[in-house]
Chain A
């Protein structure tokens, strides 16, 4: 994507092979948003304390704002756009059923975090949900609905 004669990094994003030969330290977040145009992943803090930029790398939730492109070389990155082809992942469906979002800006990160939680723990308790989701800030304060939606997704919509 950038021809500076630097190292070529390959990474699979939503199943598609991508390559990057610019600054290997560039955050995955900005590669996704600015260089590739996958803008569903949001910028919120830049220092991994708000979770807005959460993506799934090899089945685990990762904060893309502090993950360099070099860190994900050769790995599988899933963003909100790639979570489900028609947007009907159980977490996405539960989110709609529970009318979770207000402004919606943090929701991609919340949904990716919840999806990663359910990979690791398909039937989390309410305490486990609150713990697993505590890295994701929602300034509008949708937490009660987030908790309910994750529970809903884990129990089948």
Chain B
């Protein structure tokens, strides 16, 4: 049974561009809920522990709760569970089917997982981003599993001629304990399939006390063995008969275009078969290809060699002079002047004037590239008005729509097969690489793989934004913070979709700026305007990275100025346990979730700080030259706090000795994967803090590979990362785990470096700042 769906009224917005949609891709769709079928609220049954609502129903195509779509049982008892979300390393391909298996009493060792193609009418929303898979699908997947269990039980009761209340599914069989009879799921499969699907609102969910898998120990990911054997199938691993291999030379400057090219030398390269123009879209090009010149060959190596031999003349366009040094000065200037007020409580101007002391921190965070280990890649086979795609995409449904639009064919004629993603981090929410493959295959009439090189990846990314965050904190005579003004200026993701977008979207403002949870009488948040000169996109945890860095560094600066302990200062600023009211914020973006279910709860924020302080031994004595730093941040409706111990040698060598992170992500499914996400966030956090920077000169990205865009390697990774998951009741709504580990890392590191050295890092990356 598919839940009834009905359109929900579009939430209003003022001015330029509507940004109410919680889906990252939905910005494309005329910026509101228009065509998609939307699951009516309440999404979740309010009975049996599901006493909360999520934003799942507002996603394009909402949620589908239908065991006949998601579960198949073979006569040999093998249960196949469909997963409709993309696996990029978070473990979702394991976690969601595990939820179904839990509720239906399937034995996990007899479950196979099948990846759904892009089809949101059938499966519901598939946008795997925003750390929302578990929080949107915990209850739907439980309902699907419970429905399947109920159908199996009904089938068994009928077979035996006993009331259904007398039978019970237990570990892959249905048991009639009164008579001692048992039937395996395989024996019941055919009959169960004939049963009516029960009403999702009344189907009885298991008592969490009886869970075998959920929230328990260590469940390995389903692809583990294949990964260790080189058999796991990623985007680049698709091979089709007659398939050609292509790489593309794209305009080196965003908004540039092809003038002319000379392919004569390229065509002499052994294995090169064809050189052709690829259609590009004018900037802002959304998810459409940038265009350029494709070299098509019998293998990727030949295509790359051929591309190296091309002679191309580009028109660099309006961004030809874009320069990161000048742009930083522009951002700083903007941050020093009043900007659009996006949150206002009390009278900040007056409070800053009357303050005994004003502490000002101006923080700079550069562009970052996603640099997933698998660069963008896609295979397309377009023929007879139909298209089949194999690609590592975070948005299978959106990719299907975009392929259809780009080729001018009906969506029903497009199949998007979702491979494993060799990392995503938000990059693969944008399907430009799949569209390139589709265009080339259509043109050539054969299957084509488009492979991005690492240089392509770094030079044509949808970059994490660059920003200046300026905070002024006013203190009274007693050292209490009475005023807080935060100006955040950064090119907006909206600029990728709508020309001349100069202010942040509501979803960007809601990531660490207007949702700042401190208990301060006078607060003002401002967003001065700035134009973008390159493609800006979502990067794991998005605007939370600069905002958390600024806010949590400022906590350290205030502690330093007033001679207080960082953790005590942080708790004092968080203030009393309460639900934060943000009445002055227009269109507050709460990660797409209803505020009632997922409010900003400072009690929970305090608790993760206290939890990490206890388990991570805050305040422990450390050797000379070492220092401890702490930071806490709520993002993706989860609460995280991190303690880092560093040392800095006389020559400025930074060593991260220990990381302790506490995460409160509500009720959870697979703690093993939460742990791995947080461990990984520490490494990515260190990468961005220490090395991460993409810069422009003459409109061109100056970095090209991991030599010029270094990421942390094992020999500089944190020596130990401990993850402390805050226990949660089953009725605490689940929240994000993939992204929220990242934001607190860099400020905790900066605070630790200050404790170790007395040097305050206000600009990232740290680079050689500690050497001076």
Contacts and interface: CB of A to CB of B under 8 A. Distances in A.
A66 B613 CA distance: 48
B229 A80 contact: yes
A49 B373 contact: no
Interface string B232-244: 1010110100000
- Listed residue (A30, A31, A39, A129) with the most chain B CB atoms within 10 angstroms of its CB: A30
Given A22-B271, A103-B374, A29 B423 contact: no
B672 interface: yes
A33 to B, nearest CB: 7
B715 A34 contact: no
A14 to B, nearest CB: 11
Contact of B423 (A27, A108, A139): A139
A67 to B, nearest CB: 11
A99 B451 CA distance: 29
Given A39-B239, A49-B705, A52-B373, A101 B300 contact: no
- Listed residue (A79, A87, A106, A144) with the most chain B CB atoms within 10 angstroms of its CB: A144
> SS class of chain A's interface: helix, strand, loop or mixed?
loop
Interface string B433-460: 0000000000000000001011100000
B4 interface: no
Contact of B454 (A46, A102, A135, A145): A46
B372 A139 contact: yes
A10 interface: no
Interface in A92-109: 92, 95-96, 99, 101-108
Contact of A144 (B229, B234, B245, B720): B720
A104 B236 CA distance: 13
B736 to A, nearest CB: 16
> SS class of chain B's interface: helix, strand, loop or mixed?
loop
A143 B299 contact: no
Nearest to B716: A134
Contacts, number: 201
B224 A30 contact: no
B679 interface: yes
B231 interface: yes
Given A22-B270, A30-B301, A45-B454, A104 B239 contact: no
Contact of A134 (B239, B374, B713): B713
A76 to B, nearest CB: 18
B270 A27 contact: no
A114 to B, nearest CB: 11
A41 interface: yes
Contacts of B453: 46
B271 A139 contact: no
B373 A102 contact: no
B228 A107 contact: yes
Contacts of A74: none
Contacts of B713: 134-137, 143
Contacts of A2: 271, 298
A145 B679 contact: yes
A146 B721 CA distance: 13
Interface residues of A, number: 63
B230 A131 contact: no
B375 interface: yes
A4 B224 CA distance: 41
A37 B232 contact: no
B230 A130 contact: no
B227 interface: yes
A57 interface: no
- Listed residue (B87, B218, B454) with the most chain A CB atoms within 10 angstroms of its CB: B454
Contacts of A40: 229-231
Interface residues of B, number: 68
B300 A43 contact: yes
Contacts of B350: none
A130 B715 contact: yes
B229 A92 contact: yes
Contact of B672 (A45, A87, A99): A99
B373 A138 contact: yes
B301 A141 contact: no
A103 B706 contact: no
Given A47-B705, A92-B229, A137-B713, A102 B299 contact: no
Interface in B232-272: 232, 234, 236-237, 239, 245, 269-271
B714 A139 contact: no
A31 B221 CA distance: 31
A41 B373 contact: no
A71 interface: no
B207 interface: no
Nearest to A129: B714
A140 to B, nearest CB: 5
A34 B245 contact: yes
Contacts of B234: 42, 104-105
B230 A79 contact: yes
Contacts of B479: none
Interface string A14-52: 000000001101110111011101111111111101101
Interface string A113-144: 00000000000000001110111111111111
Nearest to A134: B715
Interface in B425-483: 425, 451, 453-455
A104 B420 contact: yes
A40 B229 CA distance: 8
A4 B713 CA distance: 42
Contact of A103 (B88, B237, B298): B88
Given A27-B301, A42-B373, A138-B373, A143 B706 contact: no
B630 interface: no
Contacts of B231: 40, 81
A26 B425 CA distance: 32
Contacts of B87: 103
A6 B298 CA distance: 16
B90 A102 contact: yes
B660 to A, nearest CB: 13
Interface in B349-398: 371-375
Interface string A77-93: 00111000001000010
7 contacts: A23-B302, A43-B451, A106-B422, A131-B715, A136-B714, A141-B681, A144-B718
- Of all A-B residue pairs in the complex, the 5 with the closest CB atoms, nearest first, are A40-B230, A141-B683, A105-B422, A103-B89, A80-B230
